[in-house]
């Protein structure tokens, strides 16, 4: 299908849902009981998504927030509450029916929040041609919309364009563990179901990085559907558009604390656990962000961490037989490659089969926030425990 045809069919599908009350298929986790205290029922009943990007403590008071694919306005109205009357929210959507409902309810929500006027504006537009000026947005949110866009790399570039230096995104979307085949990619129904347009996790995160974002990392993950052996799952991701870092002579070295034995960041810099690495001011700024900070020691002089240093961390597998249960691990940033203490090498977004002992390692603190674990076994697995290597180490 031509991209314009895809866009029109998706728009028609969501316009129909708004009029009929059809429940779209994407998984959501809204606290409707709370939201209905200030958002009208007309908005809540046409709210579709696969996460809650505005409700994850990512929105700050006074910010300018952009919602890509704002629909009936649920995430915009929650963001409106969080930014407060001094903040601003812009919602863009391509469907007239959705925009009409959102605009009609903006004043109602403002009154319910006790604001003198609405701080939310809804504009008609496409995700790959965002009607917003360059460098004006503190935070971009989006809820299960970008997978509906035919040219996602163009969407990512547009996101980077409108974000302020120092700004960020927090978006929820559906991705897959394998490339979607052509027979699904040309299925009109499944485009509207958030399936046909799904990128692999690798392509999604790489597309964001290619646009210029850094520190792209997993915030939340939820399995969704399996179709013909392809796993579709919801992820909420955050990433940053770094502002130029001031020269800071106080931080010139970074030492990887662990639990990874080795990792490679998005700029290609490699870190070995316990070994100080010379870094730039930009590197220091990036490594101070939340997804990195717990893993690094930042110092003005080189500091080496030996095996007995309490600042050094590791998670070792239990030295016992393991079982294979069909589990696969996908690294979800903010690193492009990492290694554990059992010689597994994980590359961002690429599924790697793991045994039961490695599952336990990756579910431990330090590892868990960075991984998606999927089970590809089609039925119950009853394999016996095995020893992965002659010395009893893991596979």
Residue 233: partners with Cβ closer than 8 Å, 6 or more residues away: 174, 175, 176, 177, 221, 222, 223, 224, 372, 374
Give pLDDT tens digits for 100-116: 999 999 999 999 999 99
283 & 165 share domain: no
pLDDT tens readout for residues 163-213: 999 999 999 999 999 998 888 877 666 555 667 788 999 999 999 999 999
- Domain match, 291 and 328 both: no
Residue 355 bridge partners (DSSP): none
Q: Assess whether 154 and 223 both reside in one domain.
A: yes
Last residue of a domain, which of 240, 266, 286? 240
Structure tokens at 273: 């656990």
SS3 of the chain: helix, strand, coil, percent, to 5: 30, 25, 45
352 burial type by CB count under 10 A (0-12 exposed, 13-18 middle, 19+ buried):
middle
Same domain, 203 and 300: no
Same domain, 119 and 255: no
Instruction: Return the pLDDT at 193.
Output: 63
Whole-angstrom Cα distance, residue 161 to residue 147?
A: 19
From 197, 216, 240, give the residue that closes a domain.
240
Per-residue pLDDT reduced to its tens digit, 332-383: 989 999 999 999 999 999 999 999 999 999 999 999 999 999 999 976 766 6
Domain boundary among 293, 314, 335: 314
Question: What's the pTM?
Answer: 0.89
**Left if phi > 0, otherwise alpha if psi is -120 to 50, otherwise beta: which for 317?**
beta
330 and 263 in a common domain = no
Are both 324 and 306 inside the same structural domain?
no
148-164 pLDDT, tens digit per residue, is: 888 999 999 999 999 99
The closest of 24, 374, 388 to 195, measured between CA atoms, is 24
Are 300 and 394 within one domain?
A: no
DSSP 209-239: HHHT-EEEEEEEEEEEEEETTEEEEEEEEEE
Same structural domain, 80 and 164: yes
- Read off the tokens for 382: 């009853």
Range of the domain at 330: 319-395
Structural domain total, the chain: 3
């Amino acid at each position: 299908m031509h991209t314009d045809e895809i866009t029109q069919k998706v728009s028609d599908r969501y316009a129909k849902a708004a009029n009929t009350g059809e429940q779209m298929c994407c998984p959501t986790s809204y606290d409707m009981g709370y939201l209905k205290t200030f958002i009208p029922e007309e908005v809540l009943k046409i709210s579709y998504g696969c996460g809650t990007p505005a409700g994850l403590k990512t929105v700050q008071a006074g910010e300018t927030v952009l919602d890509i694919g704002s629909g009936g306005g649920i995430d915009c109205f929650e963001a409106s509450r969080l930014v407060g009357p001094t903040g601003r929210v812009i919602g863009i959507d391509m469907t007239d029916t959705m925009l009409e409902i959102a605009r009609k309810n903006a004043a109602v929500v403002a009154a319910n929040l006790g604001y003198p006027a609405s701080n939310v504006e809804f504009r008609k537009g496409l995700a790959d041609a965002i009607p917003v000026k360059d460098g004006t947005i503190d935070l971009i949110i989006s809820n299960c919309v970008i997978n509906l866009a035919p040219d996602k790399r163009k969407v990512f570039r547009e996101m980077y364009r409108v974000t302020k230096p120092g700004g960020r995104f927090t978006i929820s979307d559906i991705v897959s563990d394998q490339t979607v085949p052509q027979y699904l990619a040309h299925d009109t129904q499944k485009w509207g179901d958030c399936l046909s347009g799904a990128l692999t996790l690798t392509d999604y995160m790489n597309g964001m990085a290619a646009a210029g974002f850094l520190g792209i990392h997993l915030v939340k993950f939820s399995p969704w559907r399996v179709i013909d052996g392809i796993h579709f799952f919801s992820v909420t991701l955050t990433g940053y558009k770094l502002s130029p870092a001031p020269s800071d002579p106080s931080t010139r070295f970074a030492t990887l604390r662990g639990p990874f034995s080795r990792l490679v960041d998005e700029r290609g810099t490699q870190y070995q656990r316990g070994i100080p690495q010379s870094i730039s001011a930009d590197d220091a700024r990036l490594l101070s962000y939340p997804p990195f900070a717990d893993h690094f020691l930042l110092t003005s002089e080189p500091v080496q961490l030996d095996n007995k240093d309490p600042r050094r961390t590791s998670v070792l597998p239990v030295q016992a037989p393991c079982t294979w249960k069909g589990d696969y691990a996908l690294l979800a940033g903010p690193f492009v490659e990492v290694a554990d203490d059992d010689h597994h090498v994980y590359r961002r977004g690429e599924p790697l089969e793991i045994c039961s002992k490695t599952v336990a390692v990756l579910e431990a603190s330090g590892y868990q926030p960075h991984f998606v674990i999927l089970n590809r076994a089609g039925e119950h697995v009853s394999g016996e425990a095995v020893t992965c290597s002659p010395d009893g180490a893991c596979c």
